[in-house]
Amino acid sequence: MSKKKPLILVTNDDGINAKGLKSLIEIVRSFGDVIVVAPVEGQSGMSNAITVKVPLNLKTITSSNSITKLTSNGTPVDCVKLALNQVVERKPDLLVSGINHGSNSSISVVYSGTMGATIEGSLNGIPSIGFSLLDFAPDADFSVADKYAPKIIENVLQNGLPDYTCLNVNFPAVKLSSIKGIKICRQTKGRWQEEFDKRTDPHNREYYWLTGSFKNYEPDADDTDEWALKNNYVSIVPITVDLTSYTAMNHLKNWKL
């Protein structure tokens, strides 16, 4: 009895032409049939946003036996929803998102379009992995991902993932030979300290560009993703879609409400 090849849905937030997406397609095509639905343009920082004010389009770019590529004007989450509802003929066995140009470790998971798409996959019962490289450059070197992503994908295809759970994988931007291995981590406690670059336009109106620097609240905690990445490990943080703080529930039960 022949087993069907796995069906793999690929998306990202840097857009259909990003080098990281091309690298990811190359990585997953040996595992099964590949369908790509990705934003036509970059959608960084779009988190789990969905598009409700404007209609969405969906255009087929290429279609062959083993790879189909489509783009949409929507967010990464819209791309996943469109893919699952309008494109695939059966539920994908795996969703991969990325490879993002830039880190999605620690609190960046909350703002990331790459992880938004990944979370959407897990909500639909699909084992889902978001991949990011700690290098923003459009021509970043994805060799570390080429070597380590297949191991992770293999494990997820074989073992699945717990319900309502996806993976946030980050690769250090170092030479392949410097990588020490893969580490299962928790999300580092930290936040972006925002600074705004305030300017004045030719018509004398003020405007702001969002900039910022990351503040790590626990730089010495060796079970965190930030620590792992700084020490040349590939980090994997399992992410849950149940945002309930169960410890806070007890705290609140003493309130007079």
Q: Kindly tell me which of 25 and 239 has the beta carbon lying closer to its own copies.
A: 239
Size (the chain), residues: 257
179 binds its own copies (CB under 8 A): no
Using rule CB under 8 A, residue 159 touches its own copies: yes
- CA-closest candidate to residue 133, choices 8, 16, 7, 22: 22
Q: Does residue 124 contact residue 157 with C-beta atoms inside 8 Å?
A: no
Residue 32 or residue 42: which is nearer to its own copies going by CB?
Answer: 42
Element (DSSP H or E) covering residue 253: none
Q: Say how many CA atoms lie within 13 Å of 94 toward its Cβ.
A: 28
How many residues of this chain bind its own copies (CB under 8 A)?
76
Q: Which is nearer to its own copies, 1 or 52 (CB)?
A: 52
Of 6, 19, 22, 49, the one binding its own copies (CB under 8 A) is: 49
Please tell me whether residue 238 binds its own copies under the rule CB under 8 A: yes
Footprint on residues 52-81 left by its own copies (CB under 8 A): 52-53, 55-58, 77-78, 81
What are the residues facing 171 on neighbouring strands? 133
Q: Is the Cα torsion angle 152, 163, 48, 5 positive or negative in sign?
A: positive
- Kindly tell me which of 5 and 151 has the beta carbon lying closer to its own copies: 151
| Closest distance of CB 2 from its own copies, Å | 26
Asked if residue 14 binds its own copies (CB under 8 A), the reply is no
Within 180-219, which residues bind its own copies (CB under 8 A)? Answer: 181-182, 184, 186-187, 189, 191, 194-196, 198-199, 205-210
Place of tokens 């070197």: 141
CB of 47 to its own copies, least distance (A): 4
Positive or negative, the CA dihedral 134, 138, 140, 143 is positive
Smallest separation (angstroms) from its own copies to the CB of 67? 22
3-class DSSP state for residue 119?
Answer: helix
Tokens coding 4: 């069907």
Round to whole Å and give the CA distance between 69 and 28.
14
**In the structure encoding, which two tokens stand for residue 29, read together?**
């095509």
Quick one: 1 or 243, whose CB is closer to its own copies? 243
Using the contact rule CB under 8 A, the part of the chain among 1-9, 14-22, 29-37, 154-162 near its own copies is: 154-162
The answer to whether 188 and 159 are in contact (CB under 8 A) is no
- Please report whether residue 16 would count as binding its own copies according to CB under 8 A: no
Interacting residue with its own copies among 25, 95, 229, 237 (CB under 8 A): 237
Q: Name residue 154's amino acid.
A: E
Per CB under 8 A, 164 contacts its own copies: yes
